[in-house]
Amino acid sequence: MTMKFLIFVAVVLLVGCQTPKKSEKPVSRTELPITSGVTTKVPEYEPLDVIERLQLTTRFENIGFHQTAFNPCDLGFVSRQCGTQYVAAINFQLLCRASTGTTELVTHAELHPLDYGDVKWQIAGQRGFLRTDGQGMGQIRLVTRKSARKNRLILISNGQTLGLRAGEIRKIVLPQEWCY
Phi, psi of 134 (to 5 degrees): -65, -20
Pairing of strands 160-165, 126-131: unpaired
7 falls within a domain: no
Q: Which residues pair with 127 in a beta bridge?
A: 122
- In this predicted structure, what is the pLDDT of residue 37? 40
Residue 94 DSSP label: E
User: How many angstroms separate the CA atoms of 98 and 153, rounded?
Assistant: 24
Q: What are the pLDDT digits (tens) for 86-140?
A: 999 999 999 998 776 666 777 777 899 999 899 999 999 999 999 999 999 999 9
- What percent of the chain lies above the pLDDT cut of 90? 43
Q: Is residue 155 part of a domain?
A: yes
Residue 161 sits in which domain range?
Answer: 30-100+107-179
Does residue 10 form part of some domain?
Answer: no
pTM, to two decimals: 0.69
**39 found inside a domain:** yes
How high is the pLDDT of residue 16? 56
6 within some domain: no
Contacts of 172 (CB under 8 A, 6+ apart): 92, 93, 94, 95, 155, 162, 164
18 domain residue, yes or no: no
How far apart (Å, rounded) are the C-alpha atoms in residues 99 and 88?
A: 33
Overall number of domains in the chain: 1
Position 141 pLDDT exceeds 60: yes
In a domain, residue 46? The reply is yes
Decide if 17 is inside a domain. Answer: no
